[in-house]
Amino acid sequence: MAVDSETDLRRAIYGGDEIVPFFQPLVELRTGQLTGFEVLARWQHPAHGLVPPSEFIPLAESTGLIGPLVQSMLRITFDAATTLPEHLTLSVNISPTQFHDPSLPEQLALAARRGGFPLHRVIFEVTESALLHNIDQARAIAYELKSLGARLALDDFGTGYSSLLHLQALPFDEIKVDAGFVQSMIHSRESRKIVAAVVGLGNSLGLVTVAEGVETKAQADMLLWQGCDFGQGLLFGSPAPASNLNRLIAEMSQPETTIAADSPSERSPERINLRPNQQLAQLQAIYDGAPVGLCFLDRHLRYASINQRLAEINYLSVAEHLGRHISEILPQMFQALEPCFLRAIEGESIAGVEFVSLGHAPGKRGDTFLISCQPARDEAGEVIGISVSVVDITEHKRYEEALRTSRNEHQQLIEASAPIPWSPDGDSGTFTIPSRW
Ligand code: C2E
Ligand code: CA
Ligand code: CA
Protein backbone atom coordinates (compact mmCIF):
# COMPACT_ATOMS: atom_id res chain seq x y z
CA MET A 1 0.00 0.00 0.00
CA ALA A 2 1.34 3.41 -0.98
CA VAL A 3 -0.15 5.25 1.99
CA ASP A 4 -0.24 3.88 5.50
CA SER A 5 0.49 6.78 7.76
CA GLU A 6 -2.25 8.39 9.79
CA THR A 7 -0.08 11.50 10.17
CA ASP A 8 0.22 11.76 6.42
CA LEU A 9 -3.56 11.43 6.01
CA ARG A 10 -4.27 13.94 8.78
CA ARG A 11 -1.94 16.44 7.08
CA ALA A 12 -3.66 15.83 3.74
CA ILE A 13 -7.13 16.49 5.21
CA TYR A 14 -6.37 19.43 7.48
CA GLY A 15 -3.28 20.91 5.87
CA GLY A 16 -4.02 21.30 2.25
CA ASP A 17 -6.61 20.32 -0.29
CA GLU A 18 -4.89 17.07 -1.17
CA ILE A 19 -8.02 14.90 -0.92
CA VAL A 20 -10.18 16.04 -3.79
CA PRO A 21 -13.42 14.96 -5.42
CA PHE A 22 -13.47 13.40 -8.86
CA PHE A 23 -16.80 13.39 -10.71
CA GLN A 24 -18.18 10.44 -12.64
CA PRO A 25 -21.20 10.99 -14.94
CA LEU A 26 -24.53 9.26 -14.29
CA VAL A 27 -26.62 8.82 -17.38
CA GLU A 28 -30.23 7.92 -18.16
CA LEU A 29 -29.95 4.69 -20.16
CA ARG A 30 -33.08 5.31 -22.22
CA THR A 31 -32.03 8.70 -23.57
CA GLY A 32 -28.28 8.85 -22.88
CA GLN A 33 -28.79 12.14 -21.04
CA LEU A 34 -26.51 13.24 -18.22
CA THR A 35 -28.44 13.32 -14.93
CA GLY A 36 -25.68 13.92 -12.38
CA PHE A 37 -22.31 12.82 -11.02
CA GLU A 38 -21.02 10.48 -8.36
CA VAL A 39 -18.37 12.15 -6.19
CA LEU A 40 -15.33 9.87 -5.74
CA ALA A 41 -12.41 10.72 -3.47
CA ARG A 42 -8.83 10.92 -4.77
CA TRP A 43 -5.68 11.77 -2.87
CA GLN A 44 -3.35 13.98 -4.84
CA HIS A 45 -0.31 12.88 -2.87
CA PRO A 46 2.82 15.04 -3.20
CA ALA A 47 5.06 11.95 -3.32
CA HIS A 48 2.82 9.12 -4.58
CA GLY A 49 0.71 10.92 -7.19
CA LEU A 50 -3.01 10.16 -7.53
CA VAL A 51 -3.97 7.62 -4.85
CA PRO A 52 -7.28 5.69 -5.28
CA PRO A 53 -9.81 5.62 -2.39
CA SER A 54 -9.34 1.90 -1.76
CA GLU A 55 -5.90 2.82 -0.38
CA PHE A 56 -6.91 5.53 2.09
CA ILE A 57 -10.67 5.29 2.84
CA PRO A 58 -10.16 2.17 5.06
CA LEU A 59 -7.41 4.05 6.95
CA ALA A 60 -9.67 7.10 7.32
CA GLU A 61 -12.45 4.84 8.63
CA SER A 62 -10.27 3.04 11.16
CA THR A 63 -8.66 6.25 12.46
CA GLY A 64 -11.90 8.22 12.76
CA LEU A 65 -10.72 10.61 10.04
CA ILE A 66 -13.50 9.74 7.61
CA GLY A 67 -15.84 12.48 8.94
CA PRO A 68 -13.31 15.32 8.50
CA LEU A 69 -12.25 13.80 5.14
CA VAL A 70 -15.79 13.89 3.79
CA GLN A 71 -16.37 17.40 5.21
CA SER A 72 -13.24 18.68 3.49
CA MET A 73 -14.17 16.95 0.26
CA LEU A 74 -17.75 18.22 0.34
CA ARG A 75 -16.48 21.78 0.75
CA ILE A 76 -14.42 21.43 -2.45
CA THR A 77 -17.29 19.57 -4.16
CA PHE A 78 -19.92 22.23 -3.47
CA ASP A 79 -17.49 25.00 -4.47
CA ALA A 80 -16.94 23.26 -7.80
CA ALA A 81 -20.66 22.59 -8.22
CA THR A 82 -21.87 26.21 -8.01
CA THR A 83 -22.20 26.30 -11.80
CA LEU A 84 -23.75 22.83 -12.04
CA PRO A 85 -27.04 23.09 -14.03
CA GLU A 86 -30.06 22.73 -11.76
CA HIS A 87 -31.28 19.44 -13.16
CA LEU A 88 -28.02 17.64 -12.27
CA THR A 89 -27.56 15.78 -8.98
CA LEU A 90 -24.54 14.81 -6.88
CA SER A 91 -24.19 11.33 -5.38
CA VAL A 92 -21.98 11.25 -2.28
CA ASN A 93 -20.62 8.09 -0.61
CA ILE A 94 -21.12 7.76 3.13
CA SER A 95 -19.01 5.25 5.05
CA PRO A 96 -20.74 2.65 7.19
CA THR A 97 -18.83 4.03 10.21
CA GLN A 98 -20.24 7.52 9.57
CA PHE A 99 -23.72 6.05 9.54
CA HIS A 100 -23.45 5.42 13.28
CA ASP A 101 -22.82 9.06 14.13
CA PRO A 102 -26.09 10.73 15.19
CA SER A 103 -24.69 14.15 14.24
CA LEU A 104 -24.16 13.04 10.60
CA PRO A 105 -27.36 14.63 9.14
CA GLU A 106 -26.53 17.93 10.81
CA GLN A 107 -22.92 17.84 9.52
CA LEU A 108 -24.04 17.11 5.98
CA ALA A 109 -26.77 19.74 6.07
CA LEU A 110 -24.25 22.31 7.29
CA ALA A 111 -21.79 21.48 4.50
CA ALA A 112 -24.54 21.81 1.89
CA ARG A 113 -25.77 25.10 3.39
CA ARG A 114 -22.26 26.57 3.43
CA GLY A 115 -21.69 25.46 -0.15
CA GLY A 116 -25.07 26.82 -1.25
CA PHE A 117 -26.03 23.46 -2.73
CA PRO A 118 -29.61 22.26 -2.01
CA LEU A 119 -29.83 18.87 -0.32
CA HIS A 120 -32.70 17.79 -2.57
CA ARG A 121 -30.09 17.51 -5.35
CA VAL A 122 -27.89 15.23 -3.24
CA ILE A 123 -28.12 11.44 -3.12
CA PHE A 124 -26.29 9.79 -0.24
CA GLU A 125 -24.98 6.32 -1.07
CA VAL A 126 -24.59 3.72 1.70
CA THR A 127 -23.70 0.05 1.59
CA GLU A 128 -25.60 -2.57 3.51
CA SER A 129 -22.78 -2.95 6.01
CA ALA A 130 -23.90 0.46 7.35
CA LEU A 131 -27.08 -1.24 8.53
CA LEU A 132 -25.61 -4.33 10.13
CA HIS A 133 -24.72 -3.24 13.64
CA ASN A 134 -27.43 -0.87 14.73
CA ILE A 135 -30.30 -0.83 12.33
CA ASP A 136 -32.47 1.38 14.56
CA GLN A 137 -29.86 4.10 14.65
CA ALA A 138 -29.23 3.75 10.90
CA ARG A 139 -32.96 4.10 10.34
CA ALA A 140 -33.17 7.25 12.49
CA ILE A 141 -30.26 8.84 10.55
CA ALA A 142 -31.76 7.81 7.22
CA TYR A 143 -35.14 9.37 8.06
CA GLU A 144 -33.48 12.56 9.24
CA LEU A 145 -31.52 12.84 5.97
CA LYS A 146 -34.73 12.27 4.05
CA SER A 147 -36.54 14.91 6.05
CA LEU A 148 -33.82 17.36 5.03
CA GLY A 149 -34.73 16.65 1.40
CA ALA A 150 -31.84 14.36 0.45
CA ARG A 151 -32.25 11.04 -1.34
CA LEU A 152 -30.77 7.69 -0.30
CA ALA A 153 -29.18 5.00 -2.45
CA LEU A 154 -28.29 1.44 -1.47
CA ASP A 155 -24.81 0.96 -2.94
CA ASP A 156 -23.23 -2.28 -4.22
CA PHE A 157 -26.51 -4.16 -3.98
CA GLY A 158 -26.07 -7.88 -4.46
CA THR A 159 -22.72 -8.10 -2.67
CA GLY A 160 -21.95 -8.55 1.02
CA TYR A 161 -24.83 -9.19 3.38
CA SER A 162 -27.64 -8.43 0.96
CA SER A 163 -30.96 -8.71 2.63
CA LEU A 164 -34.40 -7.74 1.52
CA LEU A 165 -34.99 -6.66 5.11
CA HIS A 166 -32.58 -3.75 4.60
CA LEU A 167 -34.49 -2.58 1.56
CA GLN A 168 -37.65 -2.52 3.59
CA ALA A 169 -36.09 -1.12 6.76
CA LEU A 170 -34.71 2.07 5.26
CA PRO A 171 -36.43 4.63 3.03
CA PHE A 172 -34.21 4.07 -0.02
CA ASP A 173 -34.90 5.91 -3.26
CA GLU A 174 -32.53 3.93 -5.44
CA ILE A 175 -30.58 0.69 -5.71
CA LYS A 176 -27.16 0.55 -7.31
CA VAL A 177 -26.44 -2.76 -9.03
CA ASP A 178 -22.87 -3.78 -8.33
CA ALA A 179 -20.35 -3.46 -11.18
CA GLY A 180 -19.27 -7.10 -10.78
CA PHE A 181 -22.64 -8.41 -11.99
CA VAL A 182 -22.90 -5.81 -14.75
CA GLN A 183 -19.51 -6.72 -16.15
CA SER A 184 -20.11 -10.46 -16.23
CA MET A 185 -23.75 -10.31 -17.35
CA ILE A 186 -22.95 -10.67 -21.06
CA HIS A 187 -21.25 -14.05 -20.66
CA SER A 188 -22.69 -15.32 -17.37
CA ARG A 189 -26.29 -16.42 -17.29
CA GLU A 190 -26.28 -16.30 -13.47
CA SER A 191 -25.10 -12.66 -13.40
CA ARG A 192 -27.71 -11.78 -15.99
CA LYS A 193 -30.45 -13.33 -13.91
CA ILE A 194 -29.21 -11.57 -10.77
CA VAL A 195 -29.20 -8.20 -12.52
CA ALA A 196 -32.69 -8.88 -13.91
CA ALA A 197 -33.91 -9.84 -10.43
CA VAL A 198 -32.41 -6.74 -8.77
CA VAL A 199 -33.80 -4.44 -11.47
CA GLY A 200 -37.19 -6.16 -11.23
CA LEU A 201 -37.14 -5.82 -7.46
CA GLY A 202 -36.29 -2.12 -7.77
CA ASN A 203 -39.06 -1.55 -10.31
CA SER A 204 -41.66 -3.32 -8.24
CA LEU A 205 -40.69 -1.38 -5.11
CA GLY A 206 -40.84 1.88 -7.06
CA LEU A 207 -37.08 2.46 -6.64
CA VAL A 208 -34.77 3.95 -9.24
CA THR A 209 -32.17 1.43 -10.45
CA VAL A 210 -28.61 2.43 -11.31
CA ALA A 211 -26.08 0.07 -12.87
CA GLU A 212 -22.43 0.62 -12.01
CA GLY A 213 -19.38 -0.31 -14.07
CA VAL A 214 -21.07 -0.10 -17.48
CA GLU A 215 -18.19 -0.41 -19.91
CA THR A 216 -19.73 -1.52 -23.20
CA LYS A 217 -22.75 -0.68 -25.31
CA ALA A 218 -23.79 -4.34 -25.19
CA GLN A 219 -24.05 -4.06 -21.37
CA ALA A 220 -25.98 -0.77 -21.63
CA ASP A 221 -28.41 -2.30 -24.16
CA MET A 222 -28.98 -5.35 -21.99
CA LEU A 223 -29.57 -3.21 -18.89
CA LEU A 224 -32.04 -1.03 -20.74
CA TRP A 225 -33.83 -4.13 -22.02
CA GLN A 226 -34.09 -5.35 -18.42
CA GLY A 227 -35.65 -2.06 -17.33
CA CYS A 228 -32.69 -0.45 -15.55
CA ASP A 229 -33.05 3.35 -15.36
CA PHE A 230 -29.54 4.78 -15.07
CA GLY A 231 -25.97 3.77 -15.80
CA GLN A 232 -22.51 4.79 -14.71
CA GLY A 233 -19.18 3.58 -16.01
CA LEU A 234 -16.39 3.98 -18.50
CA LEU A 235 -18.84 3.87 -21.44
CA PHE A 236 -20.28 7.19 -20.30
CA GLY A 237 -17.18 8.70 -18.71
CA SER A 238 -14.48 7.93 -16.14
CA PRO A 239 -14.16 9.97 -12.91
CA ALA A 240 -12.76 13.41 -13.79
CA PRO A 241 -11.33 16.27 -11.70
CA ALA A 242 -13.40 19.38 -10.88
CA SER A 243 -11.43 21.37 -13.45
CA ASN A 244 -12.99 19.21 -16.21
CA LEU A 245 -16.53 19.47 -14.89
CA ASN A 246 -17.82 22.29 -17.10
CA ARG A 247 -16.25 20.86 -20.25
CA LEU A 248 -17.72 17.44 -19.44
CA ILE A 249 -21.19 18.90 -18.95
CA ALA A 250 -20.95 20.88 -22.19
CA GLU A 251 -19.76 17.80 -24.13
CA MET A 252 -22.37 15.49 -22.68
CA SER A 253 -25.16 17.96 -23.38
CA GLN A 254 -24.38 17.91 -27.12
CA PRO A 255 -27.01 15.71 -28.76
CA GLU A 256 -24.43 13.93 -30.93
CA THR A 257 -22.29 12.92 -27.95
CA THR A 258 -25.07 11.62 -25.73
CA ILE A 259 -24.63 7.88 -25.55
CA ALA A 260 -28.07 6.39 -25.75
CA ALA A 261 -28.31 2.64 -25.96
CA ASP A 262 -29.84 3.07 -29.43
CA SER A 263 -30.28 6.17 -31.47
CA PRO A 264 -33.81 7.55 -30.88
CA SER A 265 -34.77 6.87 -34.50
CA GLU A 266 -34.04 3.16 -34.02
CA ARG A 267 -36.27 2.95 -30.99
CA SER A 268 -39.89 2.03 -31.24
CA PRO A 269 -42.38 4.58 -29.79
CA GLU A 270 -43.34 2.29 -26.93
CA ARG A 271 -39.71 1.99 -25.83
CA ILE A 272 -39.48 5.78 -25.77
CA ASN A 273 -42.67 6.39 -23.84
CA LEU A 274 -43.15 3.40 -21.60
CA ARG A 275 -41.14 1.82 -18.85
CA PRO A 276 -40.80 -1.96 -19.14
CA ASN A 277 -43.32 -2.60 -16.35
CA GLN A 278 -45.88 -0.42 -18.16
CA GLN A 279 -45.16 -2.25 -21.39
CA LEU A 280 -45.70 -5.48 -19.51
CA ALA A 281 -49.08 -4.31 -18.18
CA GLN A 282 -50.10 -3.27 -21.69
CA LEU A 283 -49.01 -6.59 -23.17
CA GLN A 284 -50.83 -8.47 -20.40
CA ALA A 285 -54.07 -6.66 -21.27
CA ILE A 286 -53.67 -7.53 -24.97
CA TYR A 287 -52.80 -11.12 -24.03
CA ASP A 288 -55.84 -11.58 -21.82
CA GLY A 289 -58.23 -10.00 -24.29
CA ALA A 290 -56.94 -11.71 -27.45
CA PRO A 291 -59.50 -13.81 -29.36
CA VAL A 292 -56.68 -16.24 -30.16
CA GLY A 293 -55.51 -18.86 -27.65
CA LEU A 294 -52.04 -18.00 -26.33
CA CYS A 295 -49.74 -19.59 -23.82
CA PHE A 296 -46.12 -19.59 -22.77
CA LEU A 297 -44.42 -22.92 -22.05
CA ASP A 298 -41.11 -23.00 -20.19
CA ARG A 299 -38.13 -25.05 -21.40
CA HIS A 300 -39.65 -28.15 -19.71
CA LEU A 301 -42.95 -27.59 -21.56
CA ARG A 302 -44.82 -26.56 -18.44
CA TYR A 303 -47.43 -23.80 -18.61
CA ALA A 304 -45.84 -20.58 -17.35
CA SER A 305 -48.82 -18.50 -18.48
CA ILE A 306 -51.98 -18.97 -20.51
CA ASN A 307 -54.64 -16.55 -21.65
CA GLN A 308 -58.36 -16.84 -21.02
CA ARG A 309 -59.18 -17.88 -24.58
CA LEU A 310 -56.86 -20.90 -24.59
CA ALA A 311 -58.02 -21.95 -21.13
CA GLU A 312 -61.59 -21.99 -22.55
CA ILE A 313 -60.49 -24.01 -25.60
CA ASN A 314 -58.98 -26.59 -23.20
CA TYR A 315 -62.13 -26.61 -20.99
CA LEU A 316 -60.03 -25.82 -17.86
CA SER A 317 -59.37 -22.70 -15.79
CA VAL A 318 -56.19 -20.65 -16.18
CA ALA A 319 -55.03 -21.75 -12.70
CA GLU A 320 -55.48 -25.43 -13.55
CA HIS A 321 -52.85 -25.09 -16.29
CA LEU A 322 -50.11 -23.23 -14.47
CA GLY A 323 -47.01 -25.27 -13.65
CA ARG A 324 -48.36 -28.42 -15.29
CA HIS A 325 -46.74 -30.21 -18.21
CA ILE A 326 -48.59 -29.90 -21.51
CA SER A 327 -48.85 -33.73 -21.74
CA GLU A 328 -50.91 -33.75 -18.54
CA ILE A 329 -53.40 -31.26 -19.91
CA LEU A 330 -53.53 -32.36 -23.57
CA PRO A 331 -52.11 -35.92 -23.82
CA GLN A 332 -53.50 -36.59 -27.29
CA MET A 333 -52.27 -33.33 -28.75
CA PHE A 334 -48.89 -33.72 -27.08
CA GLN A 335 -48.46 -37.17 -28.59
CA ALA A 336 -49.11 -35.79 -32.06
CA LEU A 337 -47.14 -32.55 -31.78
CA GLU A 338 -44.26 -33.34 -29.40
CA PRO A 339 -41.64 -33.10 -32.20
CA CYS A 340 -42.91 -29.58 -33.07
CA PHE A 341 -42.56 -28.43 -29.44
CA LEU A 342 -39.08 -29.90 -29.16
CA ARG A 343 -37.97 -28.23 -32.39
CA ALA A 344 -39.28 -24.89 -31.07
CA ILE A 345 -37.29 -25.38 -27.84
CA GLU A 346 -34.25 -25.89 -30.07
CA GLY A 347 -34.95 -22.46 -31.57
CA GLU A 348 -37.04 -23.20 -34.67
CA SER A 349 -40.23 -21.28 -35.44
CA ILE A 350 -43.09 -23.65 -36.26
CA ALA A 351 -45.95 -21.99 -38.10
CA GLY A 352 -49.49 -23.19 -38.82
CA VAL A 353 -49.63 -26.90 -37.92
CA GLU A 354 -53.20 -28.26 -38.19
CA PHE A 355 -54.44 -30.47 -35.41
CA VAL A 356 -57.82 -32.23 -35.21
CA SER A 357 -59.01 -33.09 -31.72
CA LEU A 358 -60.93 -36.29 -30.98
CA GLY A 359 -64.67 -35.93 -31.55
CA HIS A 360 -67.02 -36.08 -28.58
CA ALA A 361 -68.96 -38.97 -30.13
CA PRO A 362 -67.27 -42.12 -31.49
CA GLY A 363 -66.34 -41.78 -35.15
CA LYS A 364 -67.14 -38.08 -35.09
CA ARG A 365 -64.58 -35.55 -36.08
CA GLY A 366 -63.52 -33.07 -33.44
CA ASP A 367 -62.51 -29.45 -33.68
CA THR A 368 -59.62 -28.28 -35.87
CA PHE A 369 -56.91 -25.95 -34.60
CA LEU A 370 -54.06 -24.11 -36.28
CA ILE A 371 -51.06 -24.19 -33.92
CA SER A 372 -47.87 -22.10 -34.12
CA CYS A 373 -44.85 -22.26 -31.80
CA GLN A 374 -42.35 -19.45 -31.52
CA PRO A 375 -39.18 -19.75 -29.40
CA ALA A 376 -38.87 -16.95 -26.80
CA ARG A 377 -35.34 -15.82 -26.09
CA ASP A 378 -33.82 -13.89 -23.23
CA GLU A 379 -31.65 -10.79 -23.73
CA ALA A 380 -28.63 -13.02 -24.55
CA GLY A 381 -30.51 -15.01 -27.20
CA GLU A 382 -30.97 -18.19 -25.12
CA VAL A 383 -34.32 -19.96 -25.61
CA ILE A 384 -36.18 -19.71 -22.30
CA GLY A 385 -39.44 -21.24 -23.49
CA ILE A 386 -41.94 -21.19 -26.32
CA SER A 387 -44.87 -18.99 -27.10
CA VAL A 388 -47.76 -21.02 -28.54
CA SER A 389 -50.73 -19.63 -30.44
CA VAL A 390 -53.86 -21.67 -31.09
CA VAL A 391 -56.59 -20.62 -33.53
CA ASP A 392 -59.84 -22.56 -33.70
CA ILE A 393 -60.48 -23.05 -37.44
CA THR A 394 -63.28 -25.62 -37.05
CA GLU A 395 -65.93 -23.36 -38.63
CA HIS A 396 -63.64 -22.44 -41.47
CA LYS A 397 -62.89 -26.11 -42.06
CA ARG A 398 -66.61 -27.01 -42.04
CA TYR A 399 -67.31 -24.26 -44.55
CA GLU A 400 -64.43 -25.45 -46.72
CA GLU A 401 -65.72 -29.02 -46.46
CA ALA A 402 -69.28 -27.94 -47.36
CA LEU A 403 -67.97 -25.99 -50.34
CA ARG A 404 -65.92 -28.95 -51.47
CA THR A 405 -68.91 -31.30 -51.12
CA SER A 406 -71.19 -28.99 -53.06
CA ARG A 407 -68.55 -28.54 -55.79
CA ASN A 408 -68.20 -32.32 -56.04
CA GLU A 409 -71.94 -32.82 -56.27
CA HIS A 410 -72.15 -30.22 -58.98
CA GLN A 411 -69.34 -31.86 -60.87
CA GLN A 412 -71.00 -35.28 -60.53
CA LEU A 413 -74.27 -33.82 -61.82
CA ILE A 414 -72.55 -32.43 -64.89
CA GLU A 415 -70.64 -35.64 -65.48
CA ALA A 416 -73.82 -37.77 -65.09
CA SER A 417 -75.75 -35.70 -67.67
CA ALA A 418 -75.83 -36.82 -71.37
CA PRO A 419 -74.31 -34.35 -73.86
CA ILE A 420 -76.81 -31.83 -75.19
CA PRO A 421 -76.84 -31.73 -79.02
CA TRP A 422 -77.01 -28.33 -80.55
CA SER A 423 -76.55 -26.91 -84.05
CA PRO A 424 -75.79 -23.46 -85.39
CA ASP A 425 -78.84 -21.71 -86.79
CA GLY A 426 -77.73 -20.54 -90.21
CA ASP A 427 -75.81 -17.28 -90.21
CA SER A 428 -77.92 -15.71 -87.43
CA GLY A 429 -75.30 -16.47 -84.70
CA THR A 430 -77.90 -18.40 -82.58
CA PHE A 431 -78.06 -22.13 -81.69
CA THR A 432 -81.00 -24.53 -81.84
CA ILE A 433 -81.53 -27.24 -79.18
CA PRO A 434 -83.90 -30.06 -80.24
CA SER A 435 -87.35 -29.72 -78.65
CA ARG A 436 -87.12 -33.03 -76.74
CA TRP A 437 -84.58 -31.30 -74.47
P1 C2E B 1 -18.18 2.79 -5.34
O2 C2E B 1 -18.99 3.70 -4.52
O3 C2E B 1 -18.79 1.49 -5.74
O4 C2E B 1 -17.72 3.60 -6.61
C5 C2E B 1 -17.67 3.09 -7.90
C6 C2E B 1 -16.27 2.67 -8.23
O7 C2E B 1 -16.27 2.10 -9.53
C8 C2E B 1 -15.32 3.84 -8.32
O9 C2E B 1 -14.05 3.38 -7.89
C10 C2E B 1 -15.26 4.12 -9.81
O11 C2E B 1 -14.10 4.81 -10.20
C12 C2E B 1 -15.30 2.72 -10.32
N13 C2E B 1 -15.76 2.66 -11.70
C14 C2E B 1 -16.48 3.57 -12.38
N15 C2E B 1 -16.75 3.18 -13.64
C16 C2E B 1 -16.21 1.96 -13.77
C17 C2E B 1 -16.16 1.03 -14.84
O18 C2E B 1 -16.71 1.23 -15.93
N19 C2E B 1 -15.52 -0.14 -14.60
C20 C2E B 1 -14.94 -0.41 -13.39
N21 C2E B 1 -14.33 -1.57 -13.24
N22 C2E B 1 -14.98 0.43 -12.34
C23 C2E B 1 -15.59 1.62 -12.54
P24 C2E B 1 -13.13 4.27 -6.99
O25 C2E B 1 -13.24 5.69 -7.41
O26 C2E B 1 -11.79 3.62 -6.96
O27 C2E B 1 -13.85 4.11 -5.61
C28 C2E B 1 -13.82 2.89 -4.94
C29 C2E B 1 -14.69 2.91 -3.74
O30 C2E B 1 -14.16 3.80 -2.74
C31 C2E B 1 -16.08 3.44 -4.02
O32 C2E B 1 -16.84 2.42 -4.59
C33 C2E B 1 -16.52 3.83 -2.63
O34 C2E B 1 -16.98 2.71 -1.93
C35 C2E B 1 -15.24 4.30 -2.00
N36 C2E B 1 -15.24 5.77 -2.04
C37 C2E B 1 -14.85 6.61 -3.01
N38 C2E B 1 -15.00 7.89 -2.63
C39 C2E B 1 -15.49 7.85 -1.36
C40 C2E B 1 -15.86 8.86 -0.41
O41 C2E B 1 -15.78 10.05 -0.64
N42 C2E B 1 -16.35 8.41 0.78
C43 C2E B 1 -16.47 7.09 1.06
N44 C2E B 1 -16.95 6.76 2.23
N45 C2E B 1 -16.13 6.15 0.20
C46 C2E B 1 -15.64 6.53 -1.00
CA1 CA C 1 -20.92 4.62 -4.57
CA1 CA D 1 -20.91 0.94 -5.78
pLDDT of residue 126: 94
Residue nearest to ligand 1 atom 21, measured at CA: 213
Q: Which of 38, 40, 155, 230 to mutate to test ligand 1, by most ligand atoms within 8 A of the CB atom?
A: 40
Average model confidence (pLDDT) across the chain: 87
Distance between Cα 193 and ligand 2 center (Å): 22
54 C-beta closer than 6 A to ligand 1:
yes
Nearest ligand, CA of residue 176?
3
Does ligand 1 come within 6 angstroms of the Cβ of 59? no
pLDDT of residue 409: 82
Find the radius of gyration of the CA atoms of the chain.
34
Q: What is the Å distance from ligand 3's center to 229 Cα? A: 16
Instruction: Calculate mean pLDDT across residues 358-373.
Output: 79
Closest C-alpha residue for ligand 1 atom 7: 213
Least confident piece of the model among 8-22, 234-248, 355-369: 355-369
Q: What pTM does this model have?
A: 0.73
pLDDT for res 277: 62
Which amino acid, residue 328? E
Closest ligand 1 atom, CA of 125?
2
Query: What is the distance in A from the centroid of ligand 2 to the CA of 188?
Result: 24
pLDDT digits (tens, 9 = 90+) for 162-210: 677 778 888 999 999 999 999 999 999 889 988 998 998 898 888 999 9
How would residue 330 be classed by pLDDT, with cut points 50, 70 and 90? very high
Which residue has the CA at smallest separation from atom 30 of ligand 1?
53
DSSP assigned state of 114: H
Q: Which of the ligands is closest to the CA of residue 53?
A: 1
Tell me what pLDDT residue 261 has.
Answer: 45
368 Cβ inside 6 Å of ligand 1: no
Mean pLDDT value of segment 355-371: 79
- Nearest Cα residue to atom 19 of ligand 1: 213
Q: Between vectors from CA 391 to CA 336 and to CA 365, what angle results, nearest 5°? A: 55
Q: Nearest 5°: phi and psi at 296? A: -120, 125
Q: HSE on the CB side for 59, CA within 13 Å?
A: 19
Q: Is 41 in the pocket of ligand 1 (CB under 6 A)?
A: yes
Share of the chain above pLDDT 70, in %: 86
Q: What pLDDT sits at residue 428?
A: 60
- Mind giving me the DSSP string for 140-173? HHHHHHHHTT-EEEEEEETSSS--HHHHHHS--S
Q: What is the mean pLDDT of residues 361-382?
A: 84
Q: What is the pLDDT of residue 434?
A: 54
User: Which atom of ligand 1 is closest in space to residue 73's alpha carbon?
Assistant: 41
Say if residue 282's pLDDT is above 80: no
Rounded mean pLDDT of 285-298?
Answer: 87
